[in-house]
Amino acid sequence: MLSKSQISFVKSLHQKKYRRENGLFLVEGIKSIKEFIQSSYQIHTIFYTTEQREVLPQLPANINLFEVNNAELAKISTLQTPQGFMALVYIPKNKSVSTESLANQFTLVLDGVQDPGNMGTIIRTADWFGFKQIICSEDTVEAYNPKTVQATMGSLARVNISYVNLLDFISESKIPVFGALLEGKSIYKIDWKKEGLIILGNEGKGITQEVISKVNQPVTIPNFGEAESLNVAVSAAIFCSEIRRTKN
């Protein structure tokens, strides 16, 4: 049985402000929660419904466990159809990423992506294609937004997300900077060589002018029809696919 203050505490974590204040975010569904248990993330609490008790895996002793009923879970869930389990997970410290650590690999860089679903899909896609690190501008949507977490389908547990001053970060980097732009060299003709940053911009405005000025190689996905642009998660996926196709 959850107290009123427990309910209001968990509900507060639906909002970014309180996630930041408390250093906690929400993960729903046992499949995703298991991915976080097996990762370097620390779990604070798991809520599970009585009927799901037997599905509960063996857990480290430092995780709080609360049995709740369906009505209680519905109150604290961010989903229309709650999935029997919800975990409060500690937000990891924003690890600083040295530009040197990105040598000899390809790294996605997000400049102001705003939609939580797009962000989550990009993280899931990066995980599929084996990209372990995503660098984000400070105004990119929070990776711990419940919609983002949901869309990653557990991949957030495996892909490192860092928020940085993008302009400084790129300026310090010594590896090639590829930018996803509407005008540039065809992505099918790029010689990726051995390393690079792949910059993807905001859904409406694209990459900011300042960041564009740091791009060494504008890259475009050729348009064979009439749409004006591609969804940013779709663009990211085609970049990941092309890099793996040609570099493996």
Residues contributing to the site for a copy of itself (CB under 8 A): 117, 121, 124-132, 151, 153-155, 158, 188, 221-231, 233-234, 237-238, 241-242, 244-245, 248
Nearest residue to 121 via CA among 91, 153, 160 = 153
Task: Return the closest-CA partner of residue 32 out of 85, 98, 82, 108.
Answer: 85
Shortest CB 228 distance to a copy of itself, Å: 7
Q: Which of residues 63 and 234 has its CB atom nearest to a copy of itself in the complex?
A: 234
Q: Which residues contact 149 (CB under 8 A, 6 or more apart)?
A: 25, 26, 27, 28, 32, 120, 143, 156
Closer CB to a copy of itself, 41 or 66, in the complex: 41
- To a copy of itself, the closest distance from the beta carbon of 15 in angstroms equals 16
CA–CA distance, 163 with 144 (Å, rounded to integer): 12
> Nearer to a copy of itself by C-beta: 72 or 115?
115
3-state DSSP call for residue 140? coil
> Between the CA of residue 66 and those of 88, 91, 177, 203, 246, what are the distances in Å?
11, 20, 48, 40, 49
Output the smallest distance, CB 214 to a copy of itself, in A: 26
